[in-house]
Amino acid sequence: MRRLIRLRDENVTNVCMVIDVFRAAISLRRTRGGSIWFSGIVAFQLQLGITIALAILLSPTVWAQEGIPYELEGERMATPTEIQREVESAFERSDSNGIEQESSLFTFRDGGSHLRIRYSSANPVPVLYGPFDGRATFDPLLTILPPSEEGDVLIPLLASPWWNPREYAFVVRTYNLKSANPTMHKVTLESVASAGERIGAYASHLAADERFIGTSINELSGYSIGGFSFTILLGTALLLITGIWLALGLPKRLLPTIALVFILVYAARFSLNIVRSAAADVSAWRTDGTYADAIDMYPLIQKLKLELVISSRPESVAVCGTFATPLRYFLYPTEIKTMGDGWDDATLVALFAPWSAEGGLVTCDGKSRPGEIIATFPAGSAIARLHSLP
Amino acid sequence: MIAILSFIGITALLSGEGHLLLRGITRRNDAVTIALSYPLGTLTNALVFFLAHILGLRWTLLSIGSIHGVLIIALLVWFLTRGRRKTAAEHERIPSSHLSPILASVCGIVALVALLSAALYALAFPTFFWDAFTNWAMRSMQSYQAQSLVFDGIAKAQYPILIHSLHVVFALPGGWSDRLANAATFLLSTTSLLTLFLLIRRQYGNRCALIGITLLLAIPLVVIHLRQGYADIHVTLFILLASLFLHEHVTSGDVTSLTISGLLAAAAAWTKLEGLYFALLPFIALALVTSVQRKTLHKGIRRGILPACVLGLGWVAFLLASGLPLSPHGSSVAFHPEAIRLVLVQLFVTGSFGVHWYAIALGIVALIVVTKRNPRTLLQDTPSLWGIGSLLLVLAIYLCTKEVEFLVSGNTFGRTALIPTMLLTQALWLRFGSKE
């Protein structure tokens, strides 16, 4: 959607016009029979004023100086499985064979509302992006860049509940087919969102649920409005109201009840989050056995267990990716090795990192061995049976 | 079917042991005694497994079952010789209180959502959180398979064994089951919370009890921990119960409450090493202070401190004798002022504790104001003392030792801070919110 509206000078003219008509309406009201006309003119002017105000709010504040980029939508992805499905769909694949990814951290001098990407690619480019807090990327957004020789796109950041106008560090992950890397010519941060869009984004941030992942047992992020902690907002309101209450000399015995109300407000928001995320988790679990950021670890484990049971010979299992520890638990007493110490001897390998299987070779984390894929899973994982080197 | 029957059977066994122990101590049969039976049964179970390990017995159904059999007979004989208590009535007299329907509904919904969601994840989903795959369920399964307590290849071998022994005892009849292990610990969480509710109700009435439990379940991190996998929620609930029973002893003079408080502090020490520093040592200190105040020092030592030490320090003595360190993280003391900001972020900015710490801060200010007017009231308020002590200890650990690296990484601080958060929430609510 192109944004070509420039209303600043036109808005000033319209405001002067409104004032002049108001003056005329007031003088008309003093005449006999003028009150009806007065009411009608006031109503019309109010409507015109509201329309102009909306136009001001909805108009962007700053425009890109070089050319006019194409604006895409950025969608907040619910689960890693969804991300995987979108990526595979973009490449018209049914699994993640040969899909590679590359992550980069971009830092800018100032904040902004959109990332502008200039690129060249023969294929679509799925892009996962989001603010970076120094530890992990929260709630990434996903967009698909169309194939283009001279692509120039704006992708909005507002949908991320961790975005704020001061945020200047972002992680950008691009996906591509093997040996078909896109070329990112330039990535900049632009401030093109209107005041109305920003206000709308802030309101939607509070409605964005927190994702409960493995690290949630250590710390919960909570909710934010424009990157500003909801905990601080609500807590400060509690402190302010308590201060005013005491200053006004109101009954102190009611203060515990006031504190209770604020706690219950937060608890209500959190309870809604719990219910919605539980419903989503149950749905994903029943549909394809995936679960939060464990993605398809559990169905993969079930399949591996079956392979180990039906196998007529001792198996050696290696893991490419990060789930060696849970696999040791669920497959105990089978020894589970990592790529460093188990790849060369493995007969079965669980592929949790980007992998490819071409020409009879299975490749993961830069290592290759003869083998074939025996199972694939919804979030892109797979199990491969490896053969001995000739 | 067999799994369900064995689950019921083992639950009945542990609850029976706990109940006989409590009946022998209190000579009373009430709702609190019934609810607390299973949590205390997990302590006796841990002692059974520890005894089997010390005697060199393998952890089999026969050996563990035999020791449990001997224990239950001994407890039965002891209970029968104790006789009934000559108190006014078997049923409790619950203090009257008015609870508005709206408040009851809101509290009920918040509490139900927390508990039902926790039940869903604990019982319908497999183990999910990382440390369960290393220190907790994994070690339990390895010990079950090896039929003995496993130390080799375990990253944190000094962890006490209440949770591990609980996992294993449920696996003995029918084999290891991840769901069964989580069900066993989920039952511990729910019975502990039920006991808390009934205990507050006994002392303060329905309104205070419902709101008190809701305040605890409104802590977001508590809801996540109730999904099971880690032992932090269990050690914290044992500490909460210990502080409440001690408070009951201080306010009513009932020395059996002191004994139960000591047992619960011992149970905390058998659950995680934090139980030694946040439960057993504070219990000993507070029990000594209150006994001196009431001029019942000998009774306090004999009926409270001694049983707690004998039962609670067994694992610590074993570690020292084995040459294992009392902490898996090492120790070095140095003040890290840059970590103060991180502590404030964890308590007042992140979503781990909601807005609880804003309310707790106001409550502490109120406590200081009230105490300045009448300092003696603070000595009576053992839950607040326990909570403030635990807060100071957490701050000391994360600001003045090497543990600061786990604060920086956001790894353990939130879980350890659950102890002062829940203690102070409970204590300040009982102090200022229990009066209508």
Confidence band of A378 (pLDDT split at 50, 70, 90): confident
Report the C-alpha gap between A96 and A92 in whole angstroms.
Answer: 10
Percent of chain B with pLDDT over 90: 78
pLDDT at residue A19 in the model: 54
Average pLDDT, chain B: 92
Distance from CA of B153 to the nearest CA of A (A): 13
Statement: residue B150 has pLDDT above 60: yes
Contact by Cβ (8 Å): B343, B392: no
Give the separation between CA B221 and CA B333, rounded to whole angstroms.
29
- A1 in a structural domain: no
Q: Do B211 and A135 touch (CB under 8 A)?
A: no
Q: Is residue B68 within 8 angstroms of chain A, CB to CB?
A: no
At B324 the pLDDT is 81
Confidence band, pLDDT 50/70/90 cuts, at residue B34: very high
Contacts of B223 in chain A (CB under 8 A): 270, 274
* Shared-domain flag, residues A237 and A334: no
- Count of A-B CB contacts under 8 Å: 159
Predicted pLDDT at A126: 92
Q: Are residues A184 and A234 in the same domain?
A: no
Contact A235 B358 (CB under 8 A): yes
Q: Which residues of A touch B414 (CB under 8 A)?
A: 218-220
Which tops the pLDDT comparison, A69 or B9? Answer: B9
Residue B89 pLDDT more than 50?
A: no
Q: Which residues 205-234 in chain B show a CB within 8 A of chain A? A: 211, 214-215, 218, 220-221, 223-225, 229-230
Amino acid symbol at B399? L
What's the mean pLDDT when you consider all of chain A? 82
Q: Are residues A175 and A273 in the same domain?
A: no
pLDDT digits (tens, 9 = 90+) for A220-239: 989 988 878 999 999 999 99
CA gyration radius, chain A: 28
Q: Answer yes or no: is pLDDT of A322 > 70.
A: yes
Interface residue A220 vs chain B (CB under 8 A): yes
Confidence of residue B120 (pLDDT cuts 50, 70, 90): very high
What spatial distance separates the first Cα and last Cα of chain A, rounded to whole Å?
57
B224–A220 CB contact, under 8 Å: yes
Tell whether B79 lies on the interface with A, counting CB pairs under 8 A: no
Identify the CATH number of the domain in which residue A185 sits.
2.60.120
C-alpha A5/C-alpha A3 separation (Å) is 6
Task: Determine the Cα–Cα distance for residues A206 and A226; give it in Å rounded to an integer.
Answer: 9
Interchain proximity B117–A229, CB inside 8 Å: no
The model's pLDDT over A71-117, given as tens digits with 9 standing for 90+, comes to 888 778 767 778 888 888 888 887 888 888 888 888 888 888 999 99
Q: Which residues of A touch B107 (CB under 8 A)?
A: 264
**Geometric angle at alpha carbon B95, from B18 and B288, rounded to 5°:** 55
Contact between chains at A218 and B229 (C-beta distance less than 8 A)? no
Chain B residue whose CA is closest to A210: B351
Q: Does B390 touch chain A (CB under 8 A)?
A: no
Q: For residue B169, how many C-alpha atoms fall within 13 Å in the half-sphere facing its CB?
A: 33
Between chains, do B225 and A220 touch, taking CB under 8 Å as contact?
A: no
Looking at the fold, whether A274 and A316 belong to one and the same domain comes out as no
Q: Which amino acid, residue A57? A: L
Select from A212, A259, A285 the Cβ nearest to the Cβ of B362: A259
Instruction: Indicate yes or no: CB of B218 within 8 angstroms of CB of A219.
Output: no
Q: Taking a contact as any Cβ pair under 8 Å apart, which residues of chain A between 90 and 149 contact chain B?
A: 135
Q: Determine the Cα–Cα distance for residues A163 and A149; give it in Å rounded to an integer.
A: 30
| Among candidates A229, A242, A285 on the partner chain, residue whose Cβ is nearest the Cβ of B349 | A229
Tokens found for residue A69: 């980029």
CB of B346 within 8 Å of a chain A CB? The answer is: yes
What distances in angstroms separate CA A252 from CA A224, A257, A263, one per listed residue?
Answer: 31, 10, 18
* Domain boundary pick from A146, A161, A192: A192
How many helices (H) does chain B have, and how many strands (E)? 22, 0
pLDDT at A60: 45
Sign of the four-CA dihedral A344, A349, A351, A353:
negative
Q: In the prediction, which pLDDT does A75 show?
A: 78
Cβ-Cβ contacts under 8 Å, A257 against chain B: 433
Higher pLDDT: A163 or B265? It is B265
Most confident residue range from A11-25, B88-102, B372-386: B372-386
Beta strands in A28-181 (DSSP E): 70-71, 75-76, 99-107, 114-121, 125-131, 141-145, 148-156, 169-177
Q: Determine the pLDDT at residue A83.
A: 83
B225 to chain A, closest Cα gap in Å: 6
B105 part of contact set with chain A, CB < 8 Å: no
Query: What is the pLDDT at residue A59?
Result: 46
Nearest 5°: CA angle at A328, between A326 and A333? 150
Split into its structural domains, chain A has a count of 4
Q: Residue A62's pLDDT is what?
A: 40
Nearest CA distance, B104 vs chain A (angstrom): 12
| Interface mutation target, options A162, A220, A298, chain B, most CBs of B under 10 Å | A220
Same domain, A283 and A303: no
- Chain B positions touching A274 (Cβ under 8 A) are 113-114, 117, 223
**Residue A361: φ, ψ to 5°:** -110, 135
Residue A182 CA to residue A125 CA, distance in Å, equals 7
The answer to whether B257 faces chain A, any CB pair under 8 Å, is: no
Residue A351 near residue A367, CB atoms below 8 Å: no
Alpha helix ranges (H) inside B125-254:
137-146, 162-171, 178-204, 206-217, 220-225, 232-252
On whether any CB of chain B is under 8 Å from the CB of A235, the answer is: yes
Contact across the interface for A242 and B351, Cβ inside 8 Å: no
CB neighbour class for A300 (10 Å; exposed up to 12, middle 13-18, buried from 19): buried
pLDDT digit string (tens) for A38-82? 556 666 666 566 655 555 554 444 443 445 677 888 778 767 778
Q: Read off the tokens for A311.
A: 């196998």
HSE-up (13 A, CA, CB side) for residue A163: 32
Q: Is A70 on the interface with B (CB under 8 A)?
A: no
Q: What is the ipTM of this complex?
A: 0.94
Whether A89 and A182 share a structural domain: yes
Question: Looking at residues A125-129, what average pLDDT do you find?
Answer: 91
Encoded amino acid at B363, one letter: G
For residues A272-295, average pLDDT:
91
Mean pLDDT in residue range B270-293? 95
The H or E element that residue A171 is part of is: strand A169-177
Alpha-carbon torsion A352, A356, A357, A362, what sign? negative
* Residue A326 located in a structural domain: yes
Which comes out higher in pLDDT, residue B112 or A200?
A: B112
Q: How far is B344 from chain A (nearest CA, A)?
A: 11
User: Does residue B300 register a pLDDT over 60?
Assistant: yes
Confidence band, pLDDT 50/70/90 cuts, at residue B1: confident
Residue B151: φ, ψ to 5° = -120, -35
In a domain, A179, yes or no: yes
Alpha carbon distance B201, B209 (integer Å): 5
The per-residue pLDDT for A4 is: 35
Q: In what order do the strands lie in the sheet with A348-351?
A: A336-338, A317-320, A348-351, A382-386, A367-376, A361-364, A355-358
Q: CB neighbours (10 Å) of residue B91?
A: 9
Nearest chain B residue (CA) to A228? B349
Residue A266 lies in a domain: yes
Predicted pLDDT of residue B68: 97
Task: Please tell me which of the candidates A135, A218, A267 has its beta carbon nearest to residue B354.
Answer: A267
Structural domain for A179, as ranges: 70-192
CA dist A220 to A164, A231, B398, B415, Å?
19, 11, 19, 11
Chain A residue with minimal CA distance to B219? A267
Q: Which residues contact B357 (CB under 8 A, 6 or more apart)?
A: A235, B347, B348, B421
Indicate whether A263 and A353 sit together in one domain. no
Is position A204 within any domain?
no
> If DSSP codes are grouped into helix, strand and coil, which group holds residue B178?
helix
Once rounded to an integer, what is the mean pLDDT over residues A320-349? Answer: 91
CB contact under 8 A, A259 and B225: no
pLDDT, position B92: 58
Angle, alpha carbons B65-B71-B73 (nearest 5°)? 105
Length of chain A: 390
A234 vs B121, B355, B366: nearest CB: B355
The reply to whether residue A266 touches residue B355, judged by beta carbons under 8 angstroms, is: yes
In the structure, what pLDDT confidence band is assigned to residue A33 with cuts at 50, 70 and 90?
Answer: low
Instruction: Give the start-to-end residue ranges of the domains of chain B.
Output: 1-82+104-230, 251-325, 329-436
Q: What is the pLDDT of residues A258-282, one digit of tens each?
A: 999 999 999 999 999 999 999 999 9
In A, minimum Cα distance to B129 occurs at: A214
Helix (H) or strand (E) holding A118: strand A114-121
Candidate from A312-321, B70-79, B303-312, B320-329 with smallest mean pLDDT: B320-329
Q: What angle do CA A221, A234, B115 make, to 5 degrees?
A: 60
Q: At which of A231, A260, A288 does a domain end? A: A288
Does any domain span residue A205? no
Domain stop point among A288, A307, A330: A288
CB distance from B132 to chain A under 8 Å? Answer: yes
- Inside any domain, residue A109: yes
**A64 in a domain, yes or no?**
no
Residues of B in contact with A241 (CB under 8 A): none
- Residue B287: Cβ within 10 Å count: 25
Hey, what are A321's tokens?
A: 């990716």
